[in-house]
Amino acid sequence: MATVDRRSVLQKLEGKECPWTEDCTGTLERGRYKGDEALVCPDCDTPIVRIW
């Protein structure tokens, strides 16, 4: 199993377009989801990456 630095994952994806639905026009922002670090789309409120 490969080890991934969680900060690098967040940095690489932060600011990218939300992949959740075609109708969503949001970009991924750092935030919290259920108390954990996450990348969340503010347009559709979907957590795309959650790190715990």
Model pLDDT for residues 1-52, shown as the tens digit of each residue: 567 777 788 899 999 999 988 899 999 999 999 999 999 999 999 999 998 8
Whole-prediction pTM value?
0.78
Q: What is the distance between the alpha carbons of residues 10 and 14, in angstroms, rounded to a whole number? A: 6
The tokens describing 45, both together, are 């409120």
